[in-house]
């Protein structure tokens, strides 16, 4: 099952389910498939808390589809990030290829950090390059959505706590982060990662949550990242910059959930992003960073891709740039919907 979120008439996020490229709203499931009315008013996090493993929702969708119900066209809904996570626990240095490109040793336990909800945006929404950085970069990551509370769970039981997966972009300001190739001589960055990775809009998520039963083995997925520069010799061309496989993870999804839950209880609707493979801009030769006018896109196999325009701190982009075109198309769609 593929779960999305959209804004209702009151601009509140509610959950829907994708079927054949259309969205079946939970409200429609109440009327036509006997879904409990309380569930229809919930956002995805609330739904996960109320309907463990989404079994009730899944059954209602199956009944609805069997009865010939078709969803509403995607374009008529204002889709947003499929989850407003509770906690966002992030894992650094978790791909052999990414650790190797930095010349670092393989870590013997996961490196954890956090983002907050201010960072979350959906597909198509602007990613803001704040005035505090000149070295914005992408990181394609597999996002793990918690379904059932996980507290001190062993590795063998950890996957029972995973509801599904989402494509994520761990946008990072490399100069703030203190990455050497991004630093001007004599500067050091923050010495920690909170601003570098937690600034507003630094976590595009989407386009949907694919439930664990549908996605299959999370260690057998290709994940890719693209950069469309607004300027330079490749202006307007989408360049593949990251191309990795989740099988390259140092710590598996199960190991990460177990490790985190040993000290931090994970609740339904919490999110774990699991690290990035090689190919990020800062370790390219020479380094490549995202600037206003560019587009960035990430995709995890079987989930779908998330594209975001880069805008400056005031929301501006150069006219005619790839970002400007995407934003103009988005405005048209919003008007039509």
Total residues binding Zn ion (CB under 5 A): 3
User: In the bound complex, what is the minimum distance in angstroms from residue 197's beta carbon to Zn ion?
Assistant: 7
Q: Which of 79, 172, 72, 88 is nearest to 124 (CA)?
A: 79
> Per CB under 5 A, does 248 bind Zn ion?
no
> Per CB under 5 A, does 43 bind Zn ion?
no
User: In the bound complex, what is the minimum distance in angstroms from residue 106's beta carbon to Zn ion?
Assistant: 16
> Per CB under 5 A, does 137 bind Zn ion?
no
Residue ranges in 156-185 that form contacts with Zn ion under rule CB under 5 A: 170
Those residues with Cβ within 8 angstroms of residue 158's Cβ, 6 or more apart along the chain or in another chain: 150, 253, 254, 255, 257, 258, 261
Q: Which of 225, 246, 305, 251 is nearest to 107 (CA)?
A: 251
d(C-alpha 223, C-alpha 301), whole Å: 6
> Per CB under 5 A, does 25 bind Zn ion?
no
> Per CB under 5 A, does 93 bind Zn ion?
no
User: In the bound complex, what is the minimum distance in angstroms from residue 7's beta carbon to Zn ion?
Assistant: 28
> Per CB under 5 A, does 276 bind Zn ion?
yes
Residue whose C-beta lies closest to Zn ion: 170
Of the pair 170, 294, the CB lying nearest Zn ion is at 170
d(C-alpha 7, C-alpha 13), whole Å: 4
> Per CB under 5 A, does 252 bind Zn ion?
no
Q: Which of 53, 123, 137, 139 binds Zn ion (CB under 5 A)?
A: 139
Q: Which of 90, 89, 115 is nearest to 200 (CA)?
A: 115
d(C-alpha 309, C-alpha 67), whole Å: 40
> Per CB under 5 A, does 274 bind Zn ion?
no
CB 226 within 8 A of CB 238: yes
Q: Under the rule (CB under 5 A), what is the footprint of Zn ion?
A: 139, 170, 276
């Amino acid at each position: 099952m593929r779960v999305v979120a959209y804004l209702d008439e009151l601009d509140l996020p509610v959950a829907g389910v994708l079927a054949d490229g259309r969205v079946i709203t939970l409200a429609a499931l109440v009327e036509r498939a006997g879904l409990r009315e309380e569930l229809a008013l919930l956002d995805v996090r609330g739904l996960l808390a109320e309907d463990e493993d989404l079994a009730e929702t899944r059954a209602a969708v199956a009944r609805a589809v069997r009865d010939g119900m078709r969803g509403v066209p995607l374009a008529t809904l204002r889709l947003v990030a499929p989850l407003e996570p509770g906690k966002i626990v992030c894992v650094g240095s978790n791909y052999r290829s990414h650790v190797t490109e930095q010349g670092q040793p393989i870590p013997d336990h996961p490196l954890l950090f956090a983002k907050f909800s201010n960072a979350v945006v959906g597909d198509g929404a602007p990613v803001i390059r704040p005035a505090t950085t000149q070295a914005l970069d992408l990181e394609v990551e597999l996002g793990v959505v918690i379904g059932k509370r996980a507290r001190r769970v062993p590795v063998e039981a950890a996957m029972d706590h995973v509801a599904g997966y989402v494509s994520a972009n761990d946008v990072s300001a490399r100069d703030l982060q203190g990455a050497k190739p991004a630093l001007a001589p004599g500067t050091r960055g923050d010495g920690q990662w909170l601003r570098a990775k937690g600034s507003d809009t630094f976590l595009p998520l989407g386009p949907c949550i694919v439930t664990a039963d549908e996605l299959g083995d999370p260690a057998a997925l290709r994940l890719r990242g693209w950069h469309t520069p607004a300027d330079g010799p490749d202006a307007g061309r989408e360049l593949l910059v990251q191309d990795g496989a989740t099988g390259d993870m140092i710590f598996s999804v199960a190991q990460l959930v177990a490790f985190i839950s040993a000290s931090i209880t994970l609740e339904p609707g919490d999110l774990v992003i699991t690290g990035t493979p090689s190919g990020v801009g800062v370790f390219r030769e020479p380094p490549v960073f995202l600037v206003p006018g560019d587009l960035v896109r990430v995709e995890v196999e079987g989930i779908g891709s998330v594209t975001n325009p880069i805008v400056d701190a005031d929301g501006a982009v150069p006219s005619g740039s790839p970002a400007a075109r995407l934003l103009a198309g988005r405005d048209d769609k919003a008007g039509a919907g």
